[in-house]
DNA sequence: CGGGACTTTGATATTTCTCAAACAATGTGG
DNA sequence: CCACATTGTTTGAGAAATATCAAAGTCCCG
């Protein structure tokens, strides 16, 4: 007897925030409450548009989104991915403007994020979430700046694995990644052709299993080791 | 008759924050006050160490710093540069841990940043500063991911020009950049050899003048145009 | 004046891109 | 349930961008 989808999604988001800041009862209640008013978003819809007002902070209950930036000639950079439990458009300034466009990669469920003033633990969770976001941006810079194609792909997969596990969405190295090789290319500053060949090589040498968009990292620790990726600590303290 | 150096530095930092959030009297006073207790930092010293506690938020009064990350095999990524008026180690969590190491690129003057609770305008200025920081990280990702060497260098120079102008430190396209070509390379994911050759090409075709670490961008707007760089708005509203 | 830190140059190697086409999977309307 | 269209993946061959290595040149400091 399955839970209704929105309940399930709410639980997942709560799980993640609880890890970020150990929620008190008020915080948990607020999240559950917010999730009850969830909306469905179609794939490819924009959640936020660069340079336009941010109407409200959103919480992702299910599905993936990405932050993107377009160059004038059409080149596209995927700045980062947003997963269930992530916040979209968090700002503490009234009348803030979106620094990037955010697009739904898959169909999604989202809701308005409860206001941080509701509970100090929630506020701490948001603040921790922000720090994670910064961490992901810094990791992305390092990938793009100083890693080769092989390392970039491996490192990104490991980050996604870590993040999905944190949200309770990946088990034992198995992750379903709902994005095309072209998107991976746009995230990693490569061509989709090169991503394709590199993925093949990774599968050939046993670093990866699975096919299509189904990835199995059978030995995450070994893989981390092989590219010298540090383990990311979940909690600050 | 020159101002004492610390007064001058304090004024510059104040100018920048005033642009970010129109400081009230209390905010200005707090900044001037803080700057009076400035410390001198030697080039190459660490202001912050990755994974270690952040003891306090610092305000840069003069000199440049950089955020760096090292890979296990010694490759180095410069994540971004920190200029006068920038904050180092701002966090709203008690007991936060530094997400990156920050190293002084030149000798610097720094002081403890006044606490945001002193003035709402100061708090807004910090928050705006944070958004700028995010903007710079996103720009860095785009440079590394989807621009070629020529564009990366041009775009970085233009960003630094904008930022120095915002702090009142660059005039009419002339900027003195106290960093080696090797650092530029580590920031832009290139080899210093390639940076050298690309800079030569930029000077040859007239995009840049000046020599050594002295850069003159005689026509910033044309250069911006040529690589399709958007003008960065200073204020949100 | 000597030494260290940067910059510049040349020759060659490697990675990644480009273009073009074939192939596979997936979804949609009839 | 088919047929077609669309979207994504795979392959091959050749080209371009950037890295590597090694040495020479320049500049600045003490």
What confidence tens digit (pLDDT) does each residue in B190-216 have? 999 999 999 999 999 999 988 888 888
At A185, list the tokens.
């290319």
Whole-angstrom Cα distance, residue B106 to residue A108? 48
Cβ–Cβ of A75/B137 closer than 8 Å?
Answer: no
Question: What pLDDT is stored for residue B6 in this prediction?
Answer: 61
Q: Check residue B236 and give its pLDDT.
A: 45
Residue of B76, B138, B144 lying closest to A144 (CB–CB): B144
What are the backbone dihedrals phi and psi of residue A111, each rounded to the nearest 5 degrees, phi first?
-145, 170
Q: What is the pLDDT of residues A179-221, one digit of tens each?
A: 999 999 999 999 999 999 999 999 999 999 888 888 888 888 9
> How much of chain A exceeds pLDDT 70, in percent?
93
Beta carbon of B180 within 7 Å of strand C? yes
**Per-chain mean pLDDT for chain B:** 91
Question: For A23-39, what is each residue's pLDDT tens digit?
Answer: 999 999 999 999 999 99
Q: Is A117 on the interface with B (CB under 8 A)?
A: no
- pLDDT of residue A237 exceeding 50, the answer is no
Taking a C-beta distance cutoff of 8 angstroms, is the pair A64, A42 a contact? no
Question: Which of A75, A79, A127 faces B141 most closely, judged by CB atoms?
Answer: A79
Confidence at residue B174, expressed as pLDDT on a 0 to 100 scale = 84
List the beta bridge partners of residue A77: A69
User: Mean pLDDT over all residues of chain A?
Assistant: 90
Lowest mean pLDDT among A8-22, A157-171, A179-193, B145-159: A8-22
Percent with pLDDT over 90 in chain A? 73
A189 contacts in chain B (CB < 8 Å)? 144-146
Specify the pTM. Answer: 0.95
Residue B26 class from Cβ within 10 Å (0-12 exposed, 13-18 middle, 19+ buried)?
Answer: middle
What is the reported pLDDT for A102? 98
* Among A82, A142, A147, A226, the residue to mutate for chain B (most B Cβ within 10 A): A142
CB B202 within 8 A of CB B148: no
pLDDT at B2 over 90: no
CA distance B44 to B65: 9
Any strand C atom closer than 7 Å to B193 CB: yes
Q: Report the distance separating Cα A129 and Cα A4, nearest Å.
A: 27
Report the candidate in A177, A214, A192, A154 with the shortest Cα–Cα distance to residue A76.
A192
Q: What's the CA A149/C1' C15 distance, rounded, in angstroms?
A: 9
Q: How far is the CA of B153 from the C1' of D12 (A)?
A: 34
- pLDDT of B119-158, one tens digit each? 999 999 999 999 999 999 999 999 999 999 999 999 999 9
pLDDT score of B205: 92
**Alpha helices, DSSP H only, in A84-119?**
none
User: Does the pLDDT value for residue A174 go beyond 70?
Assistant: yes
Q: Which of A77, A92, A124 sits opposite B142 (nearest CB)?
A: A77
Query: At residue B106, does pLDDT exceed 50?
Result: yes
Residue B236 contacts A where some CB pair is shorter than 8 Å:
yes
Percent of chain B at pLDDT > 70 equals 94
Closest chain B residue by Cα to residue A125: B93
Most A CBs within 10 Å, among B73, B89, B138, to test the A interface: B138
Task: Suggest the residue from A88, A95, A145, A151 to mutate for an interface test with chain B (most B CBs closer than 10 A).
Answer: A145
CA A192 to chain CA mean position, Å: 21
């Amino acid at each position: 007897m399955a839970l209704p989808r929105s309940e399930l999604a709410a639980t997942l988001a709560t799980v993640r925030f609880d890890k970020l800041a150990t929620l008190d009862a008020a915080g948990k209640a607020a999240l559950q409450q917010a999730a009850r008013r969830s909306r469905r978003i179609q794939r490819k819809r924009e959640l936020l548009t660069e340079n336009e007002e941010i109407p409200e902070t959103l919480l992702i209950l299910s599905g993936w989104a990405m932050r993107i930036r377009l160059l004038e000639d059409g080149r596209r950079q995927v700045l980062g991915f947003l997963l269930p439990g992530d916040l979209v458009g968090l700002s503490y300034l009234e009348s803030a403007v979106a620094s990037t466009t955010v697009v739904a990669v898959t169909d999604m469920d989202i809701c308005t994020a409860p206001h941080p003033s509701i509970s100090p633990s929630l506020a701490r969770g948001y603040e921790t979430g922000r720090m994670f976001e910064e961490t992901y941006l810094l990791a992305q810079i390092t990938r793009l700046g100083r890693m080769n194609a092989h390392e970039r792909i491996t490192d990104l997969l490991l980050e996604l694995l870590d993040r999905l596990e944190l949200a309770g969405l990946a088990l034992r190295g198995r992750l379903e990644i709902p994005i095309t090789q072209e998107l991976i290319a746009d995230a990693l500053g490569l061509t989709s052709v090169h991503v394709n060949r590199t993925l093949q090589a990774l599968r050939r040498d046993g670093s990866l299993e699975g096919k299509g968009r189904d990835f199995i990292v059978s030995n995450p620790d070994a893989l981390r080791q092989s590219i010298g990726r540090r383990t990311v600590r979940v909690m600050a303290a």
